[in-house]
Structure 1
Amino acid sequence: MVTQSVTLDTLDRRLIHALQIDGRVSFSRIAGVLGAPERTVTRRYHRLRSALVVRVVGLVDSGRIGKLDWFVRIDCAPDAVDAVTAALVQRGDTSWIAPLAGGTRLTCMVRTPVAGCDGGRPLFDHLLRTPGVRDVEASCVLRPVAGVGGWAGRTAALEASERTALLDPAPEQPDDPAPARAEAGGWGEAEERLAGALALDGRADIAQLAAVTGWSAATVRRRIAGLRAAGVLHFEVDVDPSHFGFPLEALLWLEVAPAALAEVAQALSRHTAVAFAAVTTGRASLFAMVQCRDTGALYDYLAGDLAALPGIGRVESALIQRRAKRAGPLLLPAAIAQRPGERGGRGPGRTHRPQH
């Protein structure tokens, strides 16, 4: 996704932090917490979204709907990297696609059915048969351990009291119990359509979501509340870290002794440079995405915070050349024009903290 050159000011950063706390909280509530006019807050969000700088995306926990997440490394012939990247971008089961700097590899996240259903073998076999693809290495994500709930670089603009004001002290229990059973087979075609619409626009209004799912507006509200309460659905702010002064993105693969795995995972969850980390299968038991201001800062992280951790036997690192796709589906400018009557929120009713 190519974004326009936009400089985020203090209000922009505070707005982004508020949306990370609850991606569907109303603009009126955000305005009250930020001490800014509602029209200003609404206009800021739509300006940033129209410029492809910021958007809210709805994300589903793969494990709770019977799916697996994989971190995939693909080695290509030099003249095939762009074509393979472009093909992966268009798929609905891919995210976080990036060619790596200085080489012929690209990386991405892929969602597949569970291993008993074939564990994604058709996709991986298809990749291996793709012209120009020389090798595919897939590591299954066993457990995210850092970065869930938002990277620290974009969640430091609000005071503790402001963060609390955006949360409900006692989340309302959904009237419809079906969403809470999503892990046990309650995930159907209507939920898939709901998730697809929210992946495109996490702040899509209730009327639009009702049209997509075929549910009533009241049912849509109950289903979203239930899925969030069950940890099936959460909302993320999709924004390039370069807008926060961290243009260098690196990927790390850590080989960690089993006895030290839990300690290292917990430590990564506290490192502000780590945007995301997960325990995976494969040669490296831990994978991490790191955001830095420059190569010097990356060196300081590798030689300082990371080197101080026990049980790490080997570290492989790579710099990202560019992000062809982040968490949500690829958007074109025409697809993000504000719809008539769009309120950009969930309207009247209680709001809930995303379940990360």
Structure 2
Amino acid sequence: MEVETPHYSVIFDDLDKRIVHALVVDARIPFAKLGEILGVSEQTVARRYRSLRVRGIVHLSGQVNVVPLGHARWIMRIRSTPDAALRLGESLARIPDLSWVSLLSTGSEVMCVSRARSAQRRDALLLQLIPRAPHVTGLLAYEVLHNFPLDEEWPRYSRLFDADQLRELGPRRPVQDRAVHELPIALSPEDEAMLAVLGRDARAPYAQLAAATGWSPPRAARRMSELIDAGVLYFDLDFALERMGFAVRAALWMRTRPADLAAVGAILATHPEVTYVAATTGPTNLTAALVCRDTSHLYRYLTERLGALEGITDVEVTPALRVFKQAQTLLDADRINPVP
């Protein structure tokens, strides 16, 4: 077993990366099991995970996929006067139904993702709150038609494990859109209470979930598994990318020939720089999120990897000048802060 001194380096090292990969695969993996896989003690894993959280490098949360609930995800590009774009982004980051709020490189455009869980909340955002906000001059809303599962979730650290360790971790359940066969899944007040706790901490103990719902811990565990199996609940990691050596985030807005859309999306999902790719409605039909180490890395990706793909007829690249909010965290300089 590895022996670690209490004063290890504050650098994001290989052990940190392996812990992160394990959490991407299984957010609630017991630290004792993870320690056995990694060859370190349970206490070392727990201490490293706490340090990553306290230093504002990672945050693990439970997220709700609205598709099985009968609703759609929307990606919005909101244009404003240049002097108001910063304030607009900060305001949108405080809205619970919105995530991935960024100021784009145009300087007068904010991008965000809406995951409203009712038609009323969706319409309030798209038709009232945002269009009527001061200094907003335009809104483009893209409905997400299909999310292409990544071949490996970012940051793609599986290379740091051997084959036996990967087998012990097991496969990650991909977050996939599921067709609503009959009626959308209905959530009870107890479900909502449990999801609220997991939204703050994906590793909340079953006793805490039981206290929030009034259920027993075994019942809370069963219901959480049911929601995961139904595609409603999934777990997501937010990262302070700059602390991990990545300085550039960008969005791609691509137009492909309809016959090539599925193939291009599937190929993009294998690219190491891609963290998200989806087919959408709107003036472009495919969008992707990129993470690169610097602008030279972004240039090489666009000219060498993206440029080699057949079927893309047009592409717009919009780097993020500033990211206000990720899935469940606000960004303050180079650290992340969980949403209260």
Classify the TM-score, shorter chain. Answer: 0.7 to 0.9
Matching residue of 1:240? 240
1:191-340 map, 5 Å: 191-330=191-330
Give the SS at the match of 2:325.
Answer: coil
1:144 matched to 2:147? The reply is yes
After superposition, the C-alpha distances for 1:42-76 in whole angstroms (9 at most, x for unaligned) are 01111111122112111222111222111111111
1:155-174 map, 5 Å: 155-167=158-170
Give the SS at the match of 2:131.
Answer: helix
CA distance in 1, matches of 2:170, 2:183: 26
Report if the CA contact (8 A) 1:17-1:156 is conserved. no
Q: Which one of 73, 77, 90 corresponds to residue 73 of structure 1? A: 77
Equivalent pairs, count: 320
CA distance in 1, matches of 2:156, 2:71: 29
- Shift of residue 229 of structure 1? 2.2
Give the SS at the match of 2:288.
Answer: strand
Whichever residue aligns with residue 207 of structure 1, its letter is A
Matching residue of 2:86? 82
CA distance in 1, matches of 2:323, 2:245: 16
Matching residue of 1:175? none
Give the SS at the match of 1:80.
Answer: helix
CA distance in 2, matches of 1:41, 1:84: 40
After superposition, the C-alpha distances for 1:267-312 in whole angstroms (9 at most, x for unaligned) are 1111111111111110110000011122122111111221221221
Q: Taking structure 1 as reference, are residues 145 and 216 closer, same or farther at Cα in structure 2, changes over 3 Å only? A: same
Matching residue of 2:136? 133
- Shift of residue 111 of structure 1? 1.2
Provide the TM-score with structure 2 as the length reference. 0.86
Q: Which runs of 5+ in 1 are unaligned?
A: 172-179, 337-356
Report if the CA contact (8 A) 1:6-1:53 is conserved. no
Report if the CA contact (8 A) 2:79-2:109 is conserved. yes
Whichever residue aligns with residue 295 of structure 2, its letter is T
Question: RMSD in angstroms over aligned alpha carbons?
Answer: 2.7
After superposition, the C-alpha distances for 1:169-223 in whole angstroms (9 at most, x for unaligned) are 9x9xxxxxxxx99964342222222222111111111121112222221111101
Report if the CA contact (8 A) 1:95-1:327 is conserved. yes
Matching residue of 1:121? 123
CA distance in 2, matches of 1:307, 1:9: 33
Provide the TM-score with structure 1 as the length reference. 0.83
Matching residue of 1:343? none
Instruction: Please say which of residues 251-260 and 288-297 is displaced more in the overlay.
Output: 288-297
CA distance in 2, matches of 1:223, 1:123: 31
Q: Taking structure 1 as reference, are residues 160 and 112 closer, same or farther at Cα in structure 2, changes over 3 Å only? A: same
